[in-house]
Amino acid sequence: MLGKELDIGTVSGLSEPEAARRLSAEDFNELPSSRKRNILAIAFEVVREPMFLLLIAGGVIYLLLGDIQEAIMLLGFVFKGNTAPGLRLCI
């Protein structure tokens, strides 16, 4: 086991000069901040989703086949349902 081979009590971290060198060479160890997206950008991302497009295509096929009830049911869930966490497309 690793615990037997490596005594955790004797392991030391980086020295101050080594930590300063790595910090200057690689910058801080943090994720880049995400920019705020407006509602149109979020809606555009949702509309580009393959599953969303597949459901819309299914609704259109129901309409073309004349099954209005199924088309309304499917498209109703697509547009009224929660299409993405925190985003509701209501038409």
Domain spans, the chain: 35-91
pLDDT digits (tens, 9 = 90+) for 34-68: 778 888 888 888 889 899 899 999 999 999 999 99
DSSP codes joined into one string, the chain: -HHHHS-GGG-----HHHHHHHHHHH--S-PPPPPP--HHHHHHHHHT-HHHHHHHHHHHHHHHHT-HHHHHHHHHHHHHSEEETTEE---
What integer pLDDT is reported at residue 3 of this predicted model? 52
Q: pLDDT tens digits, residue range 61-91?
A: 999 999 999 999 999 888 776 545 555 544 4
Tokens at 81, concatenated: 């349902």
